[in-house]
Structures are given as structure tokens and as C-alpha cells.
């Protein structure tokens, strides 16, 4: 059976390469651009909408009281993002599996992979639950204000249902993205955002339910898109790839767990890197102005990351699809097109922020000192935006090819053995303050980007096609044919 599958895949790979070679360059560019934006466009919009849910929640909580706002910001920034990073990272294993299986036309495997990912993420979420219950004592032990820590403990418990929403949200998004059917995700995100604004106003402003009102609206904002996505998947939107629940989901879980852990490590190492930047800045002189200026820059950087994460999704889908399909040249062409598209947007933003510098700070603050500090940091912000336009795309390539464990090691070396030590030396020893810390961190990202470029460039993509096909063969489950009612009646 494995031999037959391999033979069919090799024949198909030859055909795909011939078709790719026969197409004109202009047609290839146009077709690839359409395929990239079919995934990237809805992914970017969905991420902006999700980011918007958090901004809206924080704004309405701010109207309840300053203590509640500080507690919410603390829980969301430290705890919720931590859980988000772990679950998103582990779910990205599904991008590799579903993308390659869809490219190889093993459509029935996508539903099995989806169910396996639900099992893995559910187990992970259960292990994370105690951290939410212990938030108050943990924050008190870390020296946070007792009143803020107590309120944060209450808010953290409300966030538990939101955390469990990620199980469905992340996995369904990646399942649908692999098939380029993610417009439904964007529609549901827009609908959820509008409902969230109305409910937040109704429950916190009109009826004064306080934290419970704000959190009920937030939980619904996370779960409404999930209900819509599940209905779409199970009620006919994915007839080829969803064949119903199966006990096969419990088979071969260990390889999925290993790939999920590698994916989680890869993403969390990046998220924690930015957290270290804020922690290091908090110990510098004039920390209040430094943190205010840095938070404005990181806020802008965060919005721009929503765009590049859309291209990360596009890169992972396109690469995994082409590897599964058996076309190494199409995979390489897709990588080049995705990087160039994202880099073009990054260059526009690079020159934009170099030109406007500190003037943009007045959108966020009235402090002249903070605006001057932002102007001073703007060149570094511009460089961050430029690097962010390339690095996440290459991470998406790694996800599509299944290199998560390799990138995790690269992240450890570049971020924690290069970026942070240089940042500490420049910021504290040479006394460059926040600029020194950020230059060191940027250098770590630059080294990581260079390493990923070298790895991607020197990869034998024909060999990667063979590796992808071996994985497909290894986890292949024979499709169970559905009974034909007409034949039975005859």
C-alpha cells in the first residue's frame, strides 16, 4: 500500500512540475499573488479583529476603574498571552499536517488531524487551568500591589472559558486555511467584533455589571466565531475534508504531540523575547518615560505584526500545499513571492515611520517628554517593522515544511545567547538605556533572520518533497468508503 501511494505521489509530482514549467512568468506571478492573498487577506483581517476585541475589552474595563484596568492589563499581557502563545504554537502543527495532506489530495486525513489537534490542545489547556486559579498569589509573590493582584485573580478565572475557546479557534482556522477557505473566519470575526462593542456597552455602561459584564461580553466575542466555524465545517462547508468524528483521532497521537510541542516552543520563545525587552526596560533610569515610549512603539509594532502574521499563515499554507502536491519549484517560487510581497509592505512602513517619527506619539500621549523619547526610538521601530516583514514569513515557511524544532533551536541561540546579552551590555554597561536594550534585541532578530534565510536558501526542496511524502505515507489512514444507498436497494 505504501509503495502504491509513493508511486502515485511521484507521478503526480512530475506532472505538477511540468505544468509549473509550462506557465509563463507573468502568469505564475499573478496566480501566486492571488493564492497568497486568498489566505493572507482574511488572516490579516481576522487578526486585526481579534486584536480589536482585546482593545475594546480593555477600553470598557478602563471605565469601571483604574484598579480594574491595571488588573485586566496585567492578566491579559502576562497570563493570557502566555496561554495564547502556547496553544497557538501547538496548533501550528496542524498547519504542517493539513497543508501537506491537502496538497497531496489526501482530503479525508484533514478531519482526522483536526480531531487529533483538539485532543492535544484540550490536554494542554487542562494543565494551564491551575495557573489561572493561582494568579492572585503568584502576582503577590512577584511583588505586585495586593489590591490589583486580588482583582487580577478574579479576572483570570473569567479568562478560563476564553482560553478554552482557543482549542476550537486556532485549529479550525488552520484547518480552513489549508484549504484556502478562510473567508468564513473573517466574516465571523467581523460579526463577533460588532456584537462585542454592543454587549460591552450594554453590560458595563448601561446596566453597570462591572467586571462580570465586561468578561461575559469578552467570552462571547471569543466563542461566537467558533460556533460559526464549527457549523461551517460540520454542516457541509468542507464535504471532502470533514467526514465526521472518528476513533482514528486517538491513533498515532505521539508524533502529533511532538510536533505540537516543537511548534509551541518555537512561538513561545519569540513571545517571551518581547516580554524580556519590557522587563529589562523597567529596571533602567527614568523607567516611566522609557516604558511609556516603548509601549507606544510596541503597540505600533503589534498592529504591524497582525499584517506579517497574515503572511506567515500564507507562507505556511502555500509551502505545505506545494510540498504535499509534489512541486518543489512551485514551493520555492511561492516563498520568493510571499517574502517579496511582505517586504514591499515593510519598506513602505519603514520610510513612513522614519519620516513621521515622534509626531505619531501624540495619538497615544500628551506628554512632550514621551513624544521626544518615541522620536528617538523611531529609527529602531522602523528597523523592527522592516525585519518583521521578513522574519515571520520565514517562520511560516518553516511551519509549512515541518521544521519547527529546528527554528526553536535557532530562536534560543539568536534571542537568548545573542540578543539579550548584547542588549544588557549596551543598555546597562555602556549606558545606552532603552535604545541599547532594543538595539541588542534587534540584533538578535537580525541574526535569526539571516540564519533562516540561509537555511531556506540552502534547502534541497526536492528532498523536502520526499520528506513530506514520507510523513503523508506514515500517517495515512485508508479512506473508509461510505455505503451507496442505491446499490443496497438494488
> Are 415 and 269 contacting, i.e. CB atoms less than 8 angstroms apart?
yes
pTM of the model: 0.83
DSSP per residue over 108-174, as a string? Answer: HHHHHHHHHHHHHHHHHHHHHHHHHHTHHHHHHHTT--HHHHHHHHHHHHHHHHHHHHHHHHHHHHH
pLDDT computed for residue 490 by the predictor: 40
User: Is residue 246 situated within a structural domain?
Assistant: yes
Band of the pLDDT at 407, cuts 50, 70, 90?
A: confident
3-state helix, strand, coil in the chain (%, to 5): 85, 0, 15
User: Is residue 5 situated within a structural domain?
Assistant: no
Could you give the number of structural domains in the chain? 1
DSSP state of 483: P
User: Is residue 2 situated within a structural domain?
Assistant: no
User: Is residue 479 situated within a structural domain?
Assistant: no
Band of the pLDDT at 489, cuts 50, 70, 90?
A: very low
User: Is residue 487 situated within a structural domain?
Assistant: no
Q: Which of residues 177 and 481 earns the better pLDDT score?
A: 177
Could you give the CA distance from residue 171 to residue 32 in angstroms, rounded to a whole number?
25
Q: b/e string for 299-315 if b means 16 or more Cβ within 10 A?
A: ebbeebbbbbbbbbbbb
Q: Which of 92-106, 372-386, 455-469, 476-490 has the lowest mean pLDDT?
A: 476-490
Answer whether residue 82 shows pLDDT above 70. yes
Where in the sequence is the domain holding 439, given as residue range(s)?
Answer: 11-474
Please provide the size of the chain in residues.
490
Left if phi > 0, otherwise alpha if psi is -120 to 50, otherwise beta: which for 326?
left
User: Is residue 490 situated within a structural domain?
Assistant: no
* Residue (of 3, 299, 43) closest to 173 by Cα position: 43
3-state secondary structure of 484: coil
User: Is residue 486 situated within a structural domain?
Assistant: no
Can you list the alpha helix ranges (DSSP code H) found in 236-286? 253-281
User: Is residue 480 situated within a structural domain?
Assistant: no
> Are 256 and 93 contacting, i.e. CB atoms less than 8 angstroms apart?
yes
C-beta pairs of 61-68 under 8 Å, 24+ apart in sequence: 61/204, 61/211, 61/214, 63/204, 63/205, 64/204, 64/210, 64/211, 64/214, 67/147, 67/148, 67/151, 68/151, 68/155, 68/210, 68/211
Band of the pLDDT at 478, cuts 50, 70, 90?
A: low
Which residue in the block uniquely carries the three cell numbers 480594574? Answer: 68
Answer whether residue 272 shows pLDDT above 60. yes
* Average pLDDT in the chain: 83
Amino acid at each position: 500500500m505504501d509503495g502504491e501511494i509513493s508511486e502515485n505521489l511521484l507521478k503526480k509530482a512530475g506532472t505538477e512540475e511540468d505544468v509549473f514549467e509550462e506557465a509563463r512568468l507573468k502568469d505564475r506571478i499573478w496566480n501566486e499573488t492571488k493564492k497568497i492573498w486568498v489566505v493572507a487577506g482574511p488572516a490579516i483581517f481576522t487578526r486585526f479583529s481579534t486584536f480589536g476585541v482585546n482593545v475594546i475589552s480593555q477600553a470598557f474595563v478602563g471605565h469601571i476603574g483604574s484598579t480594574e484596568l491595571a488588573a485586566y492589563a496585567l492578566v491579559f499581557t502576562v497570563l493570557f498571552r502566555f496561554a495564547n502563545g502556547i496553544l497557538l504554537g501547538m496548533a501550528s502543527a496542524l498547519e504542517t499536517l493539513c497543508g501537506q495532506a491537502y496538497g497531496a489530495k489526501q482530503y479525508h486525513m484533514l478531519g482526522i488531524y483536526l480531531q487529533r489537534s483538539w485532543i492535544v490542545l484540550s490536554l494542554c489547556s487542562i494543565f494551564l487551568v491551575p495557573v489561572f486559579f493561582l494568579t492572585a498569589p503568584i502576582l503577590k509573590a512577584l511583588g505586585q500591589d495586593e489590591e490589583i493582584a486580588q482583582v487580577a485573580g478574579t479576572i483570570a478565572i473569567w479568562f478560563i472559558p476564553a482560553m478554552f475557546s482557543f482549542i476550537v479557534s486556532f485549529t479550525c482556522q488552520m484547518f480552513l486555511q489549508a484549504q484556502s477557505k478562510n473567508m468564513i473566519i473573517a466574516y465571523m470575526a467581523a460579526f463577533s467584533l460588532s456584537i462585542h462593542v454592543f454587549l460591552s456597552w450594554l453590560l458595563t455602561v448601561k446596566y453597570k455589571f462591572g467586571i462580570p459584564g465586561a468578561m461575559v461580553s469578552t467570552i462571547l466575542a471569543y466563542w461566537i466565531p467558533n460556533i460559526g466555524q464549527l457549523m461551517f465545517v460540520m454542516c457541509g462547508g468542507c464535504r471532502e475534508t470533514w467526514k465526521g468524528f472518528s476513533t482514528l483521532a486517538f491513533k498515532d497521537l505521539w508524533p502529533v504531540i511532538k510536533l505540537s510541542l516543537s511548534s509551541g516552543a518555537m512561538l513561545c520563545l519569540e513571545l517571551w523575547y518581547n516580554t524580556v525587552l519590557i522587563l529589562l526596560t523597567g529596571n533602567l533610569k527614568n523607567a516611566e518615560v522609557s516604558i511609556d515610549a516603548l509601549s507606544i512603539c510596541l503597540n505600533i509594532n503589534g498592529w504591524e505584526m497582525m499584517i506579517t502574521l497574515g503572511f506567515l499563515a500564507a507562507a505556511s499554507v502555500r509551502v505545505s500545499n506545494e510540498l504535499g502536491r509534489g512541486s518543489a519549484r512551485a514551493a520555492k517560487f511561492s516563498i520568493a513571492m510571499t517574502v517579496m510581497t511582505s517586504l514591499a509592505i515593510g519598506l513602505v512602513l519603514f520610510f513612513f515611520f522614519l519620516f513621521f517619527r515622534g509626531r505619531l506619539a501624540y495619538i497615544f500621549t500628551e506628554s512632550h517628554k514621551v513624544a521626544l523619547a518615541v522620536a528617538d526610538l523611531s529609527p529602531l521601530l522602523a528597523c523592527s517593522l522592516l525585519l518583521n516583514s521578513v522574519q515571520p514569513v520565514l517562520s511560516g515557511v518553516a511551519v509549512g515544511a515541518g521544521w519547527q524544532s529546528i527554528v526553536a533551536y535557532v530562536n534560543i541561540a539568536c534571542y537568548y545567547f545573542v540578543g539579550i546579552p548584547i542588549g544588557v551590555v549596551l543598555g546597562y554597561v555602556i549606558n545606552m538605556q532603552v535604545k541599547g536594550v532594543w538595539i541588542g534585541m534587534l540584533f538578535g532578530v537580525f541574526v535569526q533572520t539571516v540564519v533562516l534565510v540561509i537555511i531556506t536558501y540552502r534547502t534541497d526542496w526536492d528532498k523536502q518533497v520526499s520528506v513530506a511524502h514520507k510523513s503523508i505515507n506514515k500517517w495515512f489512514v485508508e479512506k473508509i468508503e461510505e455505503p451507496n444507498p442505491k446499490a443496497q436497494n438494488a
